[in-house]
Chain A
Amino acid sequence: ETGVTQTPRHLVMGMTNKKSLKCEQHLGHNAMYWYKQSAKKPLELMFVYSLEERVENNSVPSRFSPECPNSSHLFLHLHTLQPEDSALYLCASSRAAGGGDEQYFGPGTRLTVT
């Protein structure tokens, strides 16, 4: 238990569906992250929020839309995804964005796009 929770843990969706991934951290951290993890590939950073402001957006397709309503919650809204978007989506938080602070990861959402 890392103090970061994610729901749902598994999600199967069609290419025309709209769904949202939720992340919540109970650590009092100020930074939150979305990562994509595909098999045998490095973690890909998608978005970074610091104090609820988006500070990094790594050329992610617009079919992924993040939302950070407060420093404890982070959402990833999904729409018209492609099969290649199937992956493990990890949320993480840290005390601050940048620097030497370790990131605490949630268990991830295993997404399958059919």
Chain B
Amino acid sequence: GQNIDQPTEMTATEGAIVQINCTYQTSGFNGLFWYQQHAGEAPTFLSYNVLDGLEEKGRFSSFLSRSKGYSYLLLKELQMKDSASYLCAVRSPRDSNYQLIWGAGTKLIIKP
């Protein structure tokens, strides 16, 4: 079956670092996305990984290990505006080249 697992909720302190994990079990793999969604707003794209390793983009980094079916999103120097849900999604071409398999999202709460 197809499955994406993420923690439901995490709490972190302003200025700190937080790592949000995503594990996946899919019948194929053709890339992993991370999206950010603030309450009541549209999801917005953060990163895309298709090869193993770390991709850094400012305060946000995303890591992928295809052999372990594992990814994480690393947020540094946390700001209050980073309070949001973070969605992990995998493209699995064996079932459909058009469909992303989505996790339920991790709600990140930033405290002062």
State whether these chains interact.
Answer: yes
Could you list which residues of chain A lie within 8 angstroms of chain B, going by C-beta atoms?
A: 2, 4, 31, 40-43, 45, 48, 50, 55-56, 58, 90, 97-100, 102-108
Known: A4-B42, A90-B43, A107-B42. A45 touches B99 (CB 8 A): yes
User: Which of B12-20, B55-63, B100-108 lies at the binding interface?
Assistant: B100-108
State whether B42 touches A45 (Cβ < 8 A): no
Interface size band for B:
20 to 34
Q: Which of B43, B89, B98 contacts A48 (CB 8 A)?
A: B98
State whether B87 touches A2 (Cβ < 8 A): no
Interface centre among B33, B48, B98 (most CB of A within 10 A): B98
B93 CB contacts on chain A under 8 angstroms: 98
State whether B31 touches A42 (Cβ < 8 A): no
DSSP majority for the A interface?
loop
A50 CB contacts on chain B under 8 angstroms: 98
B89 CB contacts on chain A under 8 angstroms: 43
Interface centre among B33, B89, B97 (most CB of A within 10 A): B97
CA distance A4 to B42 in the complex (A): 10
State whether B31 touches A106 (Cβ < 8 A): no
A43 CB contacts on chain B under 8 angstroms: 43, 87, 89, 100, 102
Instruction: Say yes or no for B8: interface residue by CB 8 A criterion.
Output: yes
